[in-house]
Structure 1
Amino acid sequence: MADFVLQPVLTGKQITLLPLQADDFEALYLAASDPLIWQQHPEPNRYQREVFARFFDSGITSGSAFKVVDNQSGLVIGSSRYYDINLTERELAIGYSFLARSHWGGAVNGEMKQLMLHHAFLHVDKVWLHIGADNIRSRRAVEKIGGVFSHQVEAKNAAGETEYKVHYYLTPALYQAAVSGAVM
């Protein structure tokens, strides 16, 4: 388990996930500065530069965040990260994910999750996804890839406000069944 690389380069057909670096701020902020991206998010003002800066800094500090690059244009179009990593229990979470609206509605989000899940399942048996309870778009996307609702929690966000998150989990078998079209 010690060989688990938190920020590998993950390359797909449409996107590449690269380790997030401090000098990626402007490019990532450009992708994140659209208020509609954050409309269903527990922190809906994340499009504001100072709010986004906290998000970005926490990604850098985590040592497990990625920037998402469109393979065709070379533009940074979003980010995601691994967190709550517990290799003893063989589980971790994937989240803090967003994509520019130009890449909504297609296969990019699914490819991003696929790349991260494939890498994670080399080292863990369960992946958690924590989603804002009102973020119906993300909840449906996770359910499409086999995510199973576990529970809801109440927590404080970075601004100290109460928010509700739902927790979904995936195992290799659940994920494989969903992507192959099998019914569990």
Structure 2
Amino acid sequence: MKFSVQNILENQDYQLIPLEEGDFESLYKVASDPRVWEQHPNKDRYKREVFQNFFVGAMESKGAFKIVEKATGNVIGSSRYYDYNEDDNSIFVGYTFYGTESWGKGINPQIKKLMLDYIFRFVDKVNFHVGKDNMRSRTAMERLGAENTGEQKVAYFGEPSRTNIVYQIKKENWL
């Protein structure tokens, strides 16, 4: 990989800051609401010990961010780059979640735009794993213009395999 997936990315309202070990408590505060995970394949991530595993996976990915609202300084969620494929010149974006107070405010499209605008300088395709029954996230992918390329069993870090829909955006189709 000849690029960094851990640059600070920002727009007028939000910053994506590389995740650090000391961010666990502020991120868990957001993740501890069961509603955050109700459509996710792994519905018990609101539990501290389950989220701890998620956080370890985020740190080991070396591509995870905390999402910070600039006006308040509050951590409102997380996302990451992962599974770079040099042969296919592609990468995944995902493991994204936001606290419920951030829902319905147009934040996700802004965050995805920051991530996609940056990463498309280096790759030709960006893929996304979305839980098969996660209609909220599936709708968000379709609004971004991502194409449903089929189903795939995905084993999240330290968690059982679940059926996901794989979405893809190609560089030439990104706005």
C-alpha distance in 1, partners of 2:11/2:101? 18
C-alpha distance in 1, partners of 2:155/2:27? 25
Aligned match of 1:112: 111
| TM superposition shift of 1:159 | 3.5
| TM superposition shift of 1:18 | 0.2
Deviation beyond 2 Å, 4+ runs, structure 1: 154-160, 172-175
Matched position secondary structure for 1:117: helix
Aligned match of 2:153: 154
Q: Check the 8 A contact 1:129/1:169 in 2, yes or no.
A: yes
Aligned match of 1:74: 73
TM-score, length-normalised on structure 2?
0.95
In angstroms, what is the RMSD of aligned CA positions? 1.2
TM-score, length-normalised on structure 1?
0.91
Alignment of 1:116-155 (within 5 A): 116-155=115-154
C-alpha distance in 1, partners of 2:154/2:4? 29
Unpaired segments ≥5 residues, structure 2: none
Unpaired segments ≥5 residues, structure 1: 177-184
Q: Check the 8 A contact 1:147/1:175 in 2, yes or no.
A: no
Q: After superposition, what is the alpha-carbon deviation per residue over 1:104-131, rounded to whole angstroms, capped at 9, x for unaligned?
A: 1112111110111011100000000110
C-alpha distance in 2, partners of 1:155/1:126? 19
C-alpha distance in 1, partners of 2:55/2:105? 25
Change beyond 3 A, Cα 1:166–1:100? same
Aligned match of 1:53: 52
- Identity percentage of aligned residues: 40
C-alpha distance in 1, partners of 2:132/2:174? 22
Q: After superposition, what is the alpha-carbon deviation per residue over 1:133-166, rounded to whole angstroms, capped at 9, x for unaligned?
A: 0000000101001100001013445333x42100
